[in-house]
């Protein structure tokens, strides 16, 4: 399988705080790849590096063999990398429909001048085509009943679904999901897990997901990577990762002693953005 994304020896520091230490992994085309780890492990930090919000202190990022380490976030979206956020980043005063339409922005071909001649330059036809795509996403995520509602008035679980819809509107090849089920009840988690699997299997999107619900991760992921204090401690098949003694130590604090050279032990990240 061809690598969609490759992360090579990425380190990230905030002053004297080390958020990531020489993290390397690859995500294959068509894969549902999950990142797990305790709070403060650096999970959101690595997603921020991939999406372009952070620039790694060291290391490189490759998208289909192309070095994207220095690319701006909008350029990465243009390549087909979309994301959701751990904390909701919707436009709360706008409707659900308009929030999702924002995700189509980089696909618009008409500019300020041609858009002003709405009826004569194809801008109207283009808008109708994009709205048709948005309606397909609304149907897929069962948002018909709230399509005209103001996003900020919706229950939390629905707002998480709207944010997923906006990321889908980018038509990404790789979608980065930062704790898509956080704060949801059991039924909402079941629905979201189904949507994520359908994104992967029906839409053909490569999915990279951060999630704390181990049951969901083990049920739907093809491969899992574990971070702890900014370092990768395990990667592979979900069952094998769950059985790894280093993973048990990180999650459960088991008493089995794991010897670590004190000089190699990373600093505990304390910067707000490092908490994942």
Domain spans, the chain: 1-80+173-276, 88-171
pLDDT of residue 106: 63
Distance (Å) of CA 275 to CA 54, 127, 180, 195, 270:
14, 39, 16, 26, 7
Instruction: Answer whether 0.85 is exceeded by the pTM.
Output: no
Tell me the mean pLDDT per 10 residues along the chain, length 276: 89 94 97 94 96 96 96 92 85 92 68 45 65 92 94 93 92 94 91 96 95 92 96 95 88 51 42 41
**27-70 pLDDT tens trace:** 999 999 999 999 889 999 999 999 999 999 999 999 999 999 99
CATH superfamily of 1-80+173-276: P-loop containing nucleotide triphosphate hydrolases (3.40.50.300)
Q: How far apart are CA 244 and CA 241, in angstroms?
A: 5
Beta pairing, strands 174-178 & 206-210: parallel
Q: How far apart are CA 244 and CA 242, in angstroms?
A: 6
Q: How far apart are CA 60 and CA 24, in angstroms?
A: 9
Q: Max alpha carbon distance in the chain (Å)?
A: 72
Q: How far apart are CA 177 and CA 167, in angstroms?
A: 9
């Amino acid at each position: 399988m061809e690598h969609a994304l490759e992360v090579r020896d990425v380190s990230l520091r905030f002053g004297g705080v080390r958020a990531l230490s020489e993290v390397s992994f690859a995500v294959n085309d068509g894969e549902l790849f999950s990142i797990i780890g305790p709070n403060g492990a650096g999970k959101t930090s690595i997603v921020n590096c991939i999406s372009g919000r952070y620039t790694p202190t060291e290391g490189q990022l490759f998208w289909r063999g192309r070095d994207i380490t220095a690319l701006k976030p909008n350029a990465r979206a243009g390549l087909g990398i979309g994301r959701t956020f751990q904390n909701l980043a919707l436009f709360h005063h706008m409707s659900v429909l308009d929030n999702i339409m924002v995700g189509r922005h980089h696909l618009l071909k008409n500019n300020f001048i041609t858009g002003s001649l709405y009826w004569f330059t194809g801008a109207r036809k283009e808008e109708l085509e994009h709205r048709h795509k948005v309606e397909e996403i609304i149907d897929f995520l069962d948002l018909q009943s709230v399509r005209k509602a103001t996003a900020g008035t919706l229950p939390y679980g629905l707002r998480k679904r709207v944010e997923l819809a906006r990321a889908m509107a980018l038509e990404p090849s790789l979608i980065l999901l930062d704790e898509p089920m956080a704060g949801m009840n059991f039924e909402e988690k079941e629905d979201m897990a189904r949507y994520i699997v359908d994104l992967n299997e029906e839409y053909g999107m490569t999915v990279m997901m951060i999630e704390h619900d181990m049951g969901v991760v083990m049920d739907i992921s093809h491969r899992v990577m574990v971070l702890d204090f900014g370092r990768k401690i395990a990667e592979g098949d979900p069952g094998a990762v769950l059985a790894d003694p280093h993973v048990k130590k990180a999650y459960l604090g088991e008493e089995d002693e794991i010897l670590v050279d004190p000089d190699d032990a990373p600093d505990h990240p304390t910067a707000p953005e490092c908490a994942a």
